[in-house]
Amino acid sequence: MKILLLAWRNVFRHKRRTLITAAAISVGLGAMVMSNTLMNGMDKIASWNIINYETGHFEIFASGYYREEGMFPLDTIIDDPEPLLAIVRDIKGISGVTERVKFPARVNNGIDEFPVLAIGIDLNTEFDVFKTNKTVVTGHFIEKPDDILIGTELANTMEVDEGSVLTIITRDKYGTYNAYDFIVAGLITTEHPLFDANAVIMDINVTQELLSLGKGVTELNIRIRDESKVPDMKEVIQSKVGADYEVYTYKELYASIFEVSGIKRVGQLMIALVVVIIAAVGIINTMLMAVMERIPEIGTLKAMGFQNHDIVKMFLYEGGIIGIFGSLLGCLYGLLLSLYIVFVGIDLSSVFDSSDLGYPLKFVLKGTIDPALVLLVFVFGVIVSVLVTLWPVRRATKLQPVDALRHV
């Protein structure tokens, strides 16, 4: 106890040295926290778009609908979504559910026709799950039944703009041709070029009429409160909806895109490793210097009669205290910077500057904070600080006081 007190007083006696050392430690650790936040953000880039615009966290289909990626059979639909919606809404952890009708169609401007994937959305519940309203770059979101939203790439190819009339041609669930005129209400972009070049969005009631579906829909989309619980929730939802329906997570639906994360993860691991090394070096360097310059003190202490193990203990405590200060500081400012990234983000829109579209694409890199990791960083900082103190001090205590005193 006495030793601890001594250590504590020592630390505060040399305020400047302590501050400098703590500051040095904090820089590396703060960087670790921030890199992690950024990397979490990067991980999410791919999934954000898919979750926010295309699938939500889960999709529910009628059994047998999802045979292969890319097919949209109208014969296997959810005939009456109401009871299913009620069931899903009751499940704990669900923050929103909506219904959609997806179908292949051709969009025609009188001269040209292009194949598209048309999506009918329910304006009442769409924003419980999706953020499609944020994708509009010019014009406005769907307001009237004959409004249609079209991707910027597709609009460009078809040379249409806000106010243009487009005909959507498709076949209803019996194979009968149906066609309907829409007015382009706005142009959208999701930073997912395949989507922008292939999708059009309209009101679900119109699509149900177009396809003679009655109340039927092709899928339900679900958003849950805690994204990390997606794998667990799948079982829960599937058991509640029963065998007539199939539940898929967004990762399963877009398996091909998420396979990439394996390779990205290695890249991120390397970067993380690099940051850790640099941070560790910073701590080691600093602490080492701080300790080294006090080796003469050890000589004095020994001469005064202090035992070796007490001296070591004292230095360890000091190292620990400075380590704690530094780690606290580092985690603190790492968190502050991370919060900036989480809420404001880094604007990388300049990447898309030279876009041949003429429409500005916004791309802001955001992140999420992993509390477990912050704790880990803190512990790491303290441990390294203590360990770094340990070695030179133990060696120094073995010296004769006179040698220690002479140590420079």
Partner 1 sequence: MTEHQLIRVPGCQRIRGAELHSPIIRLAIVLHAFCSMLFALSGEDVIRKVDANTVVGSISYSAKMLISFGGKIREKEFAGFVQGEERAYMEFTAPARDKDTRFLKIDDEMWLYIPSVEKATKIAGHMLRQSLMGSDFSYDDVVENERLLDMYEIELVGSDSVNDRETFKLQLTAKIDEVNYFYRTVWVDKETYIPVKTELYAKSGKLMKEVMVVDFKKIDGYNYPTRIIMTNKLRKDTYTELSLDKIQLDAIVPGKVFTKAYLERK
Partner 2 sequence: MYIFKLALRNFFRNTRRSFISGLSVTIAIMVIIFARSYTKGITTNINENIVRLVSGHINIVTAEYKRRERLLPLSESIELNDRLYHALENDEITHVSPRIKFGVLLGEEELSVPALGYAFTPEIERDISGLDKRITEGGYISSGEKAAILGIDLAKRLNVGVGDTLTIITRTAYDSPTGINVVVKGLFETGIGGVDRSLFYIPLDIGQQLLDMESYATEIVVLVKNVDRAVSIAQEIQTETGLLAIPFQQNSLLRYINMANLIYGIFYFIILLVACSTIANTMLMVVFERTREIGMMKAMGLNTASVIGLLVVEAGFIGVIGSLAGSIAGSILSYWLKYQGIDISFASSTSSQGMPFGPIIYLSPTPFMILGTFLFGLIATVVVALLPISRVTKMEPAKALKAV
Give the interface with partner 1 as residue ranges (CB under 8 A).
Answer: 108, 110-113, 167, 169, 171-172, 174-181, 209-210, 212
- Work out the angle at residue 178's Cα, subtended by the Cα atoms of residues 175 and 179, and round it to the nearest 5 degrees: 150
Q: What residue 12 binds from partner 2, partner 1, none (CB within 5 to 8 A, per partner kind)?
A: none
Report how far residue 201's alpha carbon sits from residue 141's, in angstroms, rounded to the nearest whole number.
10
Is 24 an interacting residue with respect to partner 2 (CB under 8 A)? Answer: yes
- Residue 243 vs 408, nearer CB to partner 2: 408
CA-CA distance, 370 to 133, in Å (whole number)?
28
Tell me: does residue 17 bind partner 2 (CB under 8 A): yes
Residue 267 near partner 2 by CB under 8 A: yes
The residue to which tokens 């303290």 are assigned: 382
Helix (H) or strand (E) holding 100: strand 94-108
Asked if 275 touches partner 2 (CB under 8 A), the answer is yes
Both tokens of residue 12? Answer: 């505060």
Q: Nearest 5°: CA angle at 91, between 87 and 94?
A: 115
Rounded CA-CA distance 202/155 in Å is 15
262 binds, among partner 1, partner 2, none (CB under 5 to 8 A by kind): partner 2
Cα–Cα distance between 25 and 181 in angstroms, integer? Answer: 65
Q: Of partner 1, partner 2, none, which one sits near residue 174, judging by CB under 5 to 8 A according to partner kind?
A: partner 1
Check binding of 87 to partner 2 (CB under 8 A). Answer: no
Q: Kindly state the number of chain residues that form the binding site for partner 2, as judged by CB under 8 A.
A: 57
**Residue with smaller CB distance to partner 1, 182 or 306:** 182
String of DSSP letters for 178-232: EEEEEEEEEEE--S-HHHHHHEEEEEHHHHHHHTT-TT-BSEEEEEES-GGGHHH
First to last CA, the chain: 30
The mark string for 133-162 relative to partner 2 (x by CB under 8 A, - otherwise) is: ------------------------x-----
Distance of CA 220 to the CA centre of its chain: 23
**Residue 169 contacts which entry, partner 2, partner 1, none (Cβ below 5-8 A, type-dependent):** partner 1
90 binds partner 2 (CB under 8 A): no
Which of 256, 304, 305, 358 lies at the binding interface for partner 2 (CB under 8 A)? 256
Q: How far is the CB of 2 from partner 2 (least distance, A)?
A: 23
Question: What is the C-alpha separation between 266 and 273, in angstroms, rounded?
Answer: 10
Place of tokens 């006179």: 402
| Stretch 192-211 residues interacting with partner 2 (CB under 8 A) | 193, 197-198
Q: Interface with partner 2 includes 288 (CB under 8 A)? A: yes
Closest CA to 381 of 70, 98, 26, 108: 26
Query: Measured from the CB atom, is 174 or 391 closer to partner 1?
Result: 174
Nearest CB to partner 2, comparing residues 205 and 285? 285
Residues that bind partner 2 (CB under 8 A): 16-17, 20-21, 23-24, 27-28, 31, 34-35, 38, 42, 70, 112, 114-115, 157, 193, 197-198, 256-257, 259-263, 265-267, 270-271, 274-275, 277-279, 281-282, 285-286, 288-290, 292-293, 346, 348, 350-352, 355-356, 363, 365, 408
